[in-house]
Every structure is written in structure tokens, then in C-alpha cells.
Amino acid sequence: KKKVTVKISSSWTQAGRTGPVPTRSQDTDAQASPSSKAGKECGNERSKVAPGSPVCLQATSGSGVSLDGHAGLIGLGWCVGYTVILISLYIGFFYNVIIAWALHYLFSSFTTELPWTHCNHTWNSPRCSDARAPNTTSGPNDTLRTTPAAEYFERGVLHLHESQGIDDLGPPRWQLTSCLVLVIVLLYFSLWKGVKTSGKVVWITATMPYVVLFALLLRGVTLPGAVDGIRAYLSVDFHRLCEASVWIDAAIQICFSLGVGLGVLIAFSSYNKFTNNCYRDAIITTSVNSLTSFSSGFVVFSFLGYMAQKHSVPIGDVAKDGPGLIFIIYPEALATLPLSSVWAVVFFVMLLTLGIDSAMGGMESVITGLADEFQLLHRHRELFTLLIVLATFLLSLFCVTNGGIYVFTLLDHFAAGTSILFGVLMEVIGVAWFYGVWQFSDDIKQMTGRRPSLYWRLCWKFVSPCFLLFVVVVSIATFRPPHYGAYVFPEWANALGWAIAASSMSVVPIYAAYKFCSLPGSSREKLAYAITPETEHERVDSGEVRQFT
């Protein structure tokens, strides 16, 4: 009998997450006002109410499209599970690198003077301008100047100045490689016994960040300029809600924060009892996630307001998307505080626990999905877990080279964007339209004792599929090639990125075509076999298909 575990809350916060960050609208958002960014967050929270909660309930019910339930739930569900597993595996290739960066910063914080506070290091360039000198880093005529924090990240940690582009990666940096090894070791010993170990580790990784966020909030609101930052955070530009990019980025963020489309909720829910209250789990998960996201915005923008006042620039000029917020802006802000090393250690310990928590969820979905499908892997779970984490380590080495940030950006843009939305869309369609909302509702009634209300059924049948279809189509139609700063990726890199995205999304149509061609009978019978559970195949043989009635 499987052990029960509870996994609550998202791993990344909306405003200050360090996980994969959608870069599709990064070039426009970088110039957006703080109220515009708040408009995006408003879209994010609304999206959690629209497709977020219903899809979350679908996953936590245990009847969602998980790999071990594909054949029994939906004939074509098998391929959707492999799509989800591939996406989670791709994300693991660069997700662990973020944790390695945080670990590198953590080690560097155990000094009396933080290494990103001045410009007298060997990695600094002549353009470096001391962040402690006011009005020298962000003025309108100083666009070529860089801060010590920015140079520490890009030159001291990444060694980006030693690479000409993605076609000039160079060797892996031994410092980051060592940190990556430690991350892999932590992940393995957190996962090797399944929920027996991860269920214990999660008590630390899921709760400690809240303590640190509360401490940072108390410190942030006392800083000069914090009120301006919070005012900018709460100021909403409703016109931005009319922009498709806002909803696309919000939908992708929800997939990460709730774990839908990544198999995380399904993997952990598979350890619950059959009679587990999935309603409670879905409501608690989405509510805590939204509250955490909203609260963390105060932490982020209080420090952004402080930095804006310190350098006498608008808040919009301080805010950064992507890793820059976590590894440039925040370290620079912490370096100006009393006991800066202590605050830096606390902050990066929080990032480390958040990263391990998220990586555990992603890897667990891969390991549990494949182990439940193949009994050989299930019997040798410890060895299989070792092989999975070693595979992610070897491919993550590309991201810790001199030009590793380019590989990171490419994977972030293609492996963690439209493909996730596509996977969630296929899950929702499979359950609501192929398996059937009424059948799914009967299953939940059998589990919880009550049938889902009309709200949930309408969301599963119409709202969630339509919203997800919209964002998938628009994200493809409005696609913009990735870039990192002024660097534009070559055509072959974009082609490689599309190949990565297509490799996960193409599993569904390829397997559907194979299944349709290999099944016996007429076209109608083949379609019936493909969209019905195995338990109903006898009814198909007799010509009775409930989906056609």
C-alpha cells in the first residue's frame, strides 16, 4: 500500500521566483511600468480562478491523466503522460542549474564583505561602477555602466565574457560544476526512497521559505522607498489585461507554481488514499499558492522601491525579469543593509530550499510515472532514481559552461513554454471530452461522497479547454525568438529549440496516428477504441460507445 503524503503550495513565488521564467514578452515587459507588471499579476491571480483550480482538482483527484492510469482511463492518455514526463525531464536539465547558482551565492556569502559590493575583483571590467556610489549606475547617460552585482553574476559566476555565443560554450566551470554535483546528491538522497524520504524533506523545504519571506518582509517594509515600491505593486494597469501576452505568461506561471502539466500533483496524489478529500487539497493548494504569490510581491517590491530611491531612478528601471531579479537586484539590495552577509545567507538558503523542493516535485513525477508503468523500474527504484538524476546532471553541464546562460535561455524559452500549455490542454480534453465529465464526476462522487457542482463541470468541459486553447494558439502566433540581453540566437539554435518543444508535443499526434492505424475494425471502431478506457472495450465490441451518444 502506498504511503500517503501531502504536498501543498507552489515552489516558486510569482513576483520573485527563480524558476524558469517565460521570456516571450521579456523585451516588452522590461520597459513596462510597475503598474503594467501589476496588471500581469492580476491576470495571473484571475487565471488561477479560471483554469487553475479546476485543473488542480482534476490532478489531485487521482483520476487525471497520469502515466500509470493512461491505459485504464483513456486509450490515448498514454501519450499525454509521456509528453508530461518529457517536459519535466527537459526542465530538470536547467532547473538544477538555478539551484547551483543559489548554492554558489550561498557559499560566497560567508564573508565579511560580499563579493558583489565593489569593482576591484579580477573579473570586473572598466565599465563597472561601484553600487555604493549614488547616481552612477542607472542614469540616462550611463547606459554602458554596469553594477558590481551584475558583473559578479555574469562575469564572476557565469564567465559570460569568455563566450561569444551559444556556438562558443567552452568547458564547464569547476565552481558551478561542484555546486551542481552537490545539488544532484541532495536530490538523489531526497528521492531514492520515494515519499519515505521526500515526505520528510518537504517539511523543511516547504515551510522554511515562509519564515524567511516573513523576515524579509519585516525588513523590507522598514527600508526608505519601500512605500513607493508597494504603491507601484498595488497599482494596476487594467489595459494590460487586454494584451494576450499577459495571459500567456500568467498561464505558464500557473503551470509552474501549481505543478499542473508537469505531473507533480498527479505523482504526489497517487500516494493518497482513494477516499482522500481532493476538493480540500485543490482549494488549499490554489489558495495558499495565490496568497503566497500575492504576499511575496510585497517583499519584492519593497526592496525594488528601496533600490529605486537609492539610485534616484524609476522603479520600472530597477525591476528585471528572469534570473536578474534574484541574482542581481536582490543581492545588490542585501549588500547595502547592515549585517549584509547574514541577510545574504538567509536569502540564499531560502532559494536553495525552494529549488530543492521544486526539483523534487519535477523528478518525482518522472520517476513515479515511469516506475508505475514499468515494474522492472519499480523494483529497482533506487537505481532508476540514480540514473535519472545522473542524466539530468550530464545534460545540465551544458548550462554551467562559459556560454551556459545561452543554453539555459534556449531551454527556458522552448522547453518550458507552449509545450507545457499544450500538455495541460491535452489532459483537460482527454478527461472532459474523451473520458467524459459525467463519468469523471461519478468517480469523484465515489471518492468523496458528493458530485462536483455545475461550476466545476462547466470549467472542465468548456472554460479550461477554451482558455488553454486560446493561450496555446496565441503563444504560437505571437512567437518571438529568444534573446539574452543584446545577444540574438542564430537560426540553427531556434530550430533546435523548436525541435525540443516538438519532441514533447509530437508524442500525442504520433501515438494517436499509430494507435488509429494499428487497431482493427472500421474508422469508427478505431476511434472508439482510442478514446475509451480499456474497461469499456467490450462495450465497443458490441457497438455501444457512450462518447458517441
The predicted model gives 206-220 an average pLDDT of 92
Position 35 pLDDT exceeds 80: no
**Residue pointed to by grid coordinates 508535443:** 505
Q: What is the mean pLDDT of the chain?
A: 82
Is residue 480 situated within a structural domain? yes
The 10 Å Cβ neighbour count of residue 276 is 18
Is 289 assigned a ligand-binding role in the annotation? yes
Is residue 469 situated within a structural domain? yes
Closest CA relative to residue 514, chosen from 76, 162, 15, 73: 76
The 10 Å Cβ neighbour count of residue 158 is 27
Is residue 38 situated within a structural domain? no
- The 10s digit of each residue's pLDDT in 418-448 is 999 999 999 888 888 888 888 889 888 888 8
Query: What pTM value is reported for the model?
Result: 0.85
pLDDT more than 70, % of the chain: 82
Yes or no: say if 279 and 63 are a contact pair by the CB < 8 Å rule. no
pLDDT at 52: 67
- The 10s digit of each residue's pLDDT in 104-130 is 999 999 999 999 999 999 999 999 987
The predicted model gives 81-100 an average pLDDT of 93
**Residue pointed to by grid coordinates 505531473:** 263
pLDDT at 135: 47
Per the structure, the count of domains in the chain is: 1
> What whole-number distance in Å separates Cα of residue 257 and Cα of residue 266?
14
Q: Which three cell numbers stand for residue 37?
A: 507588471
Here the CATH number for the domain that contains residue 362 is 1.20.1740
Is residue 36 situated within a structural domain? no
Longest distance between any two alpha carbons in the chain, whole Å? 81
* Beta bridge partners of residue 484, listed in sequence order: 487
- The 10s digit of each residue's pLDDT in 440-487 is 898 888 888 889 999 999 999 999 999 999 999 999 999 999 999 889
Closest CA relative to residue 15, chosen from 340, 250, 310: 250
- The 10s digit of each residue's pLDDT in 56-79 is 888 777 544 333 443 344 556 667
Position 331 pLDDT exceeds 60: yes
What is the torsional sign of CA 348, 349, 350, 356? positive
Quickly state the pLDDT bin for 355 (edges 50, 70, 90): very high
Is 358 assigned a ligand-binding role in the annotation? yes
The terminus-to-terminus CA distance of the chain in angstroms comes to 38
63: amino acid identity, one letter = S
Lowest mean pLDDT among 10-14, 152-156, 201-205: 10-14
pLDDT at 534: 67
- Residue 128 is classified by DSSP as B
The predicted model gives 346-356 an average pLDDT of 94
Yes or no: say if 188 and 389 are a contact pair by the CB < 8 Å rule. yes
Q: Which three cell numbers stand for residue 521?
A: 475494425
Contacts for 510 with CB less than 8 Å, ≥ 6 apart: 79
pLDDT at 17: 34
Yes or no: say if 255 and 425 are a contact pair by the CB < 8 Å rule. no
pLDDT at 274: 80
Exposure b/e, 438-457, CB count within 10 A at least 16 = b? ebbbebbeebbeeebeeebb
Helix axes 418-429, 77-108, angle to 10 degrees: 140
- Residue 146 is classified by DSSP as B
The predicted model gives 221-234 an average pLDDT of 94
Is residue 362 situated within a structural domain? yes
Residue ranges making up the domain that contains 325: 58-124+145-518
Is 270 assigned a ligand-binding role in the annotation? no
Going from the C-alpha of 258 to that of each of 15, 99, 375, the distances in angstroms are 15, 19, 29
pLDDT at 392: 96
pLDDT at 74: 54
pLDDT at 402: 97
Is residue 531 situated within a structural domain? no
Yes or no: say if 96 and 392 are a contact pair by the CB < 8 Å rule. yes
**What are the two backbone dihedrals, phi and then psi, of residue 67, each rounded to the nearest 5 degrees?**
-65, -40
Yes or no: say if 296 and 44 are a contact pair by the CB < 8 Å rule. no
> What whole-number distance in Å separates Cα of residue 368 and Cα of residue 12?
22
> What whole-number distance in Å separates Cα of residue 518 and Cα of residue 521?
10
Going from the C-alpha of 521 to that of each of 399, 529, 535, 541, the distances in angstroms are 49, 10, 18, 10
Is residue 296 situated within a structural domain? yes
pLDDT at 80: 84
Is residue 155 situated within a structural domain? yes
Is 357 assigned a ligand-binding role in the annotation? yes
What is the full DSSP assignment across 319-367? ---THHIIIIIHHHHHHTSTTHHHHHHHHHHHHHHHHHHHHHHHHHHHH
pLDDT at 545: 66
Q: Is residue 28 helix, strand or coil?
A: helix
pLDDT at 62: 55
